[in-house]
Structure 1
Amino acid sequence: MLFIVGAVFVLFTIILVKYRERKDVGNASYNPEIHGNTLLEVVWTVIPILIVAALSIPTVKTIYSLEEAPQSNKP
């Protein structure tokens, strides 16, 4: 476990150093004032919500049916 944490930490540090913002290097083509496509963003937010809802309904029904006590046939 410690090996995995160490590997992630080392990779994270390498990425931070390699891609840090530098004041001496300017990028004229970068424009942070770009606005996205609102319809596309709504669609790719709503579709996963619908998928999760569609999967959760039968799951909840199945869980509740499994939690019911079995009926005994004793007289």
Structure 2
Amino acid sequence: MIGTIFWQGRPVPFQPGESVASALNRAGIRAFGLFCGIGQCQGCLVAIEGRTFEACLMRCRDGVEIDTAGVTDA
């Protein structure tokens, strides 16, 4: 493993180049919708540093806090 992201405060390890969705899915976290895996459905929206992103398109960065709080479709 190369680093750790934090899902609602819970540490989640990730591998080099791994997407947020992949790391969360591998850790058994399924609190967000992962359907298409290419950013089209927007089912995997998460809040990262106060902004909304598709988890399937966002690469993991060590120490990043991720949550569902405050996620909007805007």
Superposed pair shares fold, TM > 0.5: no
Q: Whose radius of gyration is greater, 1 or 2?
A: 1
Q: Which interval holds the TM-score relative to the shorter structure?
A: under 0.3
Please give the TM-score of this superposition, normalised by the length of structure 1. Answer: 0.14
Higher relative contact order (CA 8 A, sep 6+): 2
Comparing both structures, which one devotes a greater share of its residues to strand?
A: 2
